[in-house]
């Protein structure tokens, strides 16, 4: 396991391993609880194992302070047809409440920005809840811009199944 030193004293970053499934799921639940969405978490360690390590649908980095995990970021590649290049999409970034305000989240973002450049990506993107003013202010302070002319659309469950059925009923 490669541990990457950062400019933050005693703070390191590493890519998650299979043995981190319980930790990752715990971070996901803590994040969901913070966002008042805990009841929406249906992921299991088995599902995460399949998605992250067998299908390689996403990647996870773990931030550690003095060797103890304090946060994570889960990301994957998307693609911009306009740029003709992949991008990195940050699905989740989480730092334990008691460790916030010390620059660890910013360091994880900086690592991912550097990774995007190393992988020749054209963009680094994420969503933020409209009510999360502290995060919005932080993102703006590092030069991120909101895409206010765009609306996110999502299909899940029955709507997704119903549309998929149209493919077979023609």
The residues annotated as belonging to the active site are: 139
Residue 61 and residue 69 in contact, taking contact as beta carbons nearer than 8 Å? no
Residue 16 and residue 69 in contact, taking contact as beta carbons nearer than 8 Å? no
Residue 64 and residue 70 in contact, taking contact as beta carbons nearer than 8 Å? yes
CA distance 26 to 21: 9
Closest CA to 41 of 19, 54, 25: 25
């Amino acid at each position: 396991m490669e541990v990457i030193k950062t400019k933050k004293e005693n703070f390191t970053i590493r890519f998650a391993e299979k043995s981190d499934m319980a930790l990752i799921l715990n971070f996901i639940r803590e994040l969901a609880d913070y966002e008042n969405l805990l009841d929406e978490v249906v992921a299991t360690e088995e599902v995460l194992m399949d998605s992250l390590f067998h299908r390689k649908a996403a990647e996870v980095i773990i931030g550690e302070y003095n060797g103890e995990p304090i946060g994570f970021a889960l990301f994957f590649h998307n693609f911009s047809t306009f740029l003709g290049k992949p991008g990195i999409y940050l699905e989740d970034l989480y730092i334990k409440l008691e460790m916030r305000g010390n620059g660890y989240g910013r360091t994880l973002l900086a690592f991912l920005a550097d990774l995007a450049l190393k992988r020749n990506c054209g963009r680094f993107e994420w969503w933020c809840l409209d009510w999360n003013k502290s995060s919005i202010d932080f993102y703006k302070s590092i030069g991120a811009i909101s895409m206010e002319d765009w609306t996110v659309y999502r299909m899940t469950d029955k709507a997704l199944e119903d549309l998929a059925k149209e493919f077979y009923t023609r």
